[in-house]
């Protein structure tokens, strides 16, 4: 029997990204991490926060379920640790809400940092008032079923991105970015450098020192838009 075949459907324990890395990562926007990770890791734009003020950073606790059934999210809440981000492969199904106010209240009481669902949720006004970071693909008043088995803490695909248990997940008004757990520490220095460079660029624009990027003419020549020696 292969190792993969021997894995249980529910994995309770897994290695999480270091809490110190999470604390530092929380200082940066999701867009910065997407940039320094090579323009990858950003979930599809359909997965968005219920309110622009919602933001989070934490290790992924992954959930795979059948469309319209939230049994495995309840299982995830049963094994979640404070600071975890529950990331749900809801198969992009919007026919029924997978979470609402009651489960969100439970998540807050457990110390869950956020929930990211490639699927629908409901009770959006109550969740906004609660202030719990809920990121979803849409809304639907229909309730889910609770009787179909799924998997916990296996690699999943959410919004076009592979998410493994323990990976760093960062979300804000722009959306959600996932960074592999092993790469997350190295991304922090790159993120700081990126923020510093962007801050300088904005200052140069505001002071009118540089009203266009220094790389523009070269990129236009490479693309064949202008010839050698030409400029805009």
Q: Which residues does the annotation place in the binding site for substrate?
A: 100-103, 122-123
32-50: string of b/e by CB count within 10 Å (b at 16+)? bbbbbbeeebbbeeebbbb
CA geometry: angle at 181 spanning 45 and 169, to 5°? 30
Cα 161 to Cα 104, 116, 158, 167, 191, distances in angstroms = 24, 13, 5, 12, 20
Dihedral (Cα; 97, 102, 104, 106), 10-degree rounding: -140
Q: Which residues are annotated as a binding site?
A: 100-103, 122-123
């Amino acid at each position: 029997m292969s190792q993969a075949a021997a894995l249980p459907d529910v994995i309770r324990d897994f290695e999480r990204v270091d809490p110190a890395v999470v604390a530092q990562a929380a200082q940066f926007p999701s867009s910065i991490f997407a940039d320094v990770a090579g323009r990858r890791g950003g979930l599809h734009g359909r997965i968005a926060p219920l309110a622009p003020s919602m933001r989070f950073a934490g290790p992924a606790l992954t959930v795979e379920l059948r469309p319209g059934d939230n049994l495995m999210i309840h299982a995830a809440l049963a094994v979640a640790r404070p600071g975890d981000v529950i990331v749900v492969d809801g198969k992009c199904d919007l026919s029924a809400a997978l979470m609402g106010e009651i489960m969100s209240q439970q998540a807050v009481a457990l110390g869950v940092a956020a929930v990211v669902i490639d699927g629908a949720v409901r009770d959006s006004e109550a969740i906004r008032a609660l202030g719990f970071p809920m990121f979803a693909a849409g809304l639907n008043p229909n309730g889910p079923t609770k009787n179909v088995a799924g998997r916990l803490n296996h690699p999943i695909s959410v919004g076009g991105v592979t998410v493994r248990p323990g990976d760093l997940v960062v979300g804000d008004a722009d959306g959600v970015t996932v960074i592999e757990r092993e790469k997350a520490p190295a991304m922090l220095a790159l993120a700081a450098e990126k923020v510093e460079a962007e801050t300088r660029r904005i200052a140069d624009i505001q002071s009118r020192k540089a009203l266009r990027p220094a790389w523009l003419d070269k990129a236009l020549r490479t693309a064949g838009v202008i010839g050698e020696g030409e400029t805009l």
